[in-house]
Amino acid sequence: MTHTDQLNRTIQLQKVPKRIVSLVPSQTELLVDLGLEASIVGVTKFCVHPKHLRLFKNVVGGTKQIHIEKIKALRPDIVLCNKEENTKAIVEQLDGVAPIHISDIYNLEDCFELIKMYGELFQVEEKASELIGHIQKEREAFRSRIKTKTPLKVAYFIWKKPWMVAASDNFIDVMLLEAGFVNVFKDEKRYPEIDLSHSKLQEADLIFLSSEPFPFKETHVLELQSQFLSKTVKVVDGELFSWYGSRLLKSYRYFESLYD
């Protein structure tokens, strides 16, 4: 069987994969929600959803560093990676161990394409189609509920020491737009380092501190609130702004809560 991943790489499979190693947390959760938990044999230490998974599956490292011998010992039929979350060195290490499927996510259409690809790869097309339909329904309902609201300007912090924000050309920026917000750093690229004196921060109505990858807490809210007295500063669930796959089902209800 011949398949193509999101980098347009061709993958040859002799059969439907029954032993899966997933090196991407959001994709691991997606597999479970497609009914494929029993086929997962290896995950990363960051695969935290569902919570019980790491108790029963082999942990083969993180998203940037892997234990290649552990993966080899699992005799996977396929390894699932992501262009941004996993390194080129990891993909090179895995060459010859098993076929590698690499995702490349920039927007919602890429997310839906990946879900459809997994449906075909693992022969769960009906579940994949249903999941896409449910996400689209949540998306449309949310858009309808906020259509009369004036878009607020947001600065979205992902790191401290140095301070870093999500700008454009990343999935967080897409999800900020999905949530009905305007990213004040949309004219910059990727994840720039900034100083708290940056003029763009003065344009923001809201300052979001993401719960990941840096674990911002309420103490950080107080720190920034003291410098930006006229603005709303809050910690937000980073997973719901940066995880793709089935977690998107929860994103839109969460976005609505941010307007309260």
State mean pLDDT over 186-202.
96
Pairing of strands 2-4, 10-12: antiparallel
pLDDT band at 1 (very low <50, low <70, confident <90, very high): confident
Residue 222, pLDDT > 90, answer: yes
Regarding whether 185 and 105 lie in a shared domain, the answer is no
Domain count, the chain: 2
Q: Please, which residues have CB within 8 angstroms of residue 227's CB and are 6 or more apart in sequence?
A: 196
pLDDT at 233: 97
- The mean predicted confidence, pLDDT, of the chain is 96
Instruction: Write down the pLDDT at residue 217.
Output: 96
Any residues with CB less than 8 A from the CB of 109 and at least 6 apart, and which?
none
Instruction: Band the pLDDT of 190: cuts 50, 70, 90.
Output: very high
CA distance 224 to 199: 15
pLDDT, tens digit, 9 for 90 and up, residues 141-159: 999 999 999 999 999 999 9
**Residue 106 pLDDT more than 80?**
yes
What's residue 63's pLDDT?
96
Mean pLDDT of 187-212: 96
Do 199 and 100 belong together in one domain? no
Q: Is residue 72 part of a domain?
A: yes
Q: How confident is the model at residue 260 (pLDDT cuts 50, 70, 90)?
A: confident
Q: Is residue 138 in a domain?
A: no
Residues 116 and 160 in one domain: no
In a domain? residue 136 = no
Q: Looking at the domain assignment, is residue 118 inside a domain? A: yes
Average pLDDT over residues 79-103: 96
**Residue where the block lists tokens 């108790």:** 55
**pLDDT of 242 over the 90 cut:** yes
81 pLDDT above the threshold of 80: yes
Q: How, if at all, do strands 40-43 and 20-22 pair? A: parallel
Tell me which residue range forms the domain holding 166. Answer: 146-257
Mean pLDDT of the 102-131 span:
98
pLDDT tens-digit series, residues 159-187: 999 999 999 999 999 999 999 999 999 99
Read off the pLDDT of each residue in 234-251 and give the average, rounded to a whole number.
Answer: 97
DSSP-derived 3-state class of residue 244: coil
pLDDT of 21-36, one tens digit each?
999 999 999 999 999 9
Residue pair 184/155 in contact (Cβ under 8 Å)? The answer is: yes
Instruction: Report the CATH number that the domain containing residue 26 is assigned in CATH.
Output: 3.40.50.1980
Distance, in Å, from the CA atom of 99 to the CA atom of 19, rounded to the nearest integer, reads: 11
The share of the chain scoring above pLDDT 70, in percent, equals 100
The mean pLDDT value for 82-102 works out to 96
| Residues 38 and 96 occupy one common structural domain | yes
